[in-house]
Amino acid sequence: MDTSRKLTRDEMARLVAADIAPGSFVNLGIGQPTTVANYLPEGSGIVLHTENGMLGMGPEAHGDEVDPDLINAGKVPVTELPGASYFHHADSFGMMRGGHLDVCVLGAFQVSVDGDLANWHTGAPDAIPAVGGAMDLATGAKAVFVMMNLQDRAGNAKLVRSCTYPLTGVRCVSRVYTEYAVFSLAGGTVTVEQTFGMEVADLQDLLGFDLIDGTAHSSAVAASSV
């Protein structure tokens, strides 16, 4: 991957997919996280969960495959893979809350250095609030990965010291994938794992808090694994 420029959305999805261990049970959130499915290696044994009651979800359905009784959390028609299973909603969310899901990938408005997540409500007084399964996923999955742009449209950083938007979950996010860098979060410390077209010092200026530079370690690991 070219590290001299910022990542495209597809490249971000590929990076997330590469960090999901073979055999994992995974829930991909609505929107950009859904695209991670396109980059999961064949034969990895990764099983996709959809909150509306299915394990072994296949790709989006087209043409004759479309079945109104077979949809994903975004209400898009999907397909079933061999070995799929169906279950009711209480079981589906028991899988999350009970810690059976290995990874979930979500979008975010903000993530704090402590791993707090804000992704369901901007807090605008005229907005109609809707939360869906976001709080259950954030709280229940063993690892919560976030995919987001580093800044919002107004240029404000979305990785923040403390969230200003209403929270989805407390201390739940462990990795954040942005177009400029991948961050890992642990115990209030933010480590930059990889950068794309931005130096760690510039990231620190932009974010306004201390970052640990883990890029040397990460590239050494990448080099040794080639």
Partner 1 sequence: MLSFHESADAAVEGISDGATILIGGFGTAGQPIELIDALRRNGAKDLTIVNNNAGNGDTGLAALLGAGQVRKMICSFPRQSDSHVFDALYRAGKIELELVPQGNLAERIRAAGAGIGGFFTPTGYGTPLAEGKETREIDGRGYVFERPIHGDFALIKALKADRMGNLVYRKTARNFGPIMAAAAATSVVQVADVVPTGAIDPESVVTPGIFVNRVVAISPTSMLPGDGQ
Q: Which residues contribute to the site for partner 1 (CB under 8 A)?
A: 50-54, 67-71, 75, 80, 86-90, 92-94, 96-97, 116, 121, 126, 128-136, 139-140, 166-170
Phi, psi (degrees; rounded to nearest 5) at 222:
-60, -40
Concerning whether 51 is annotated as a catalytic residue, the answer is yes
Nearer to partner 1, 11 or 80 (CB): 80
Q: Which of 11, 42, 51, 80 is catalytic?
A: 51
100 contacts 25 by C-beta, under 8 angstroms: yes
Find the shortest distance in angstroms from Cβ 172 to partner 1: 10
Residue appearing with tokens 């609030």: 129
Nearer to partner 1, 101 or 150 (CB): 101
Find the shortest distance in angstroms from Cβ 90 to partner 1: 4
Nearer to partner 1, 77 or 197 (CB): 77
| 3-class DSSP state of 38 | helix
Compute how many other C-beta atoms are within 10 angstroms of the C-beta atom of residue 195: 21
Phi, psi (degrees; rounded to nearest 5) at 150:
-65, -30
Find the shortest distance in angstroms from Cβ 78 to partner 1: 9
Question: How big is the chain by its Cα radius of gyration, in Å?
Answer: 18
Structure tokens, 128: 């109609």
Which residues are the active-site residues?
A: 51
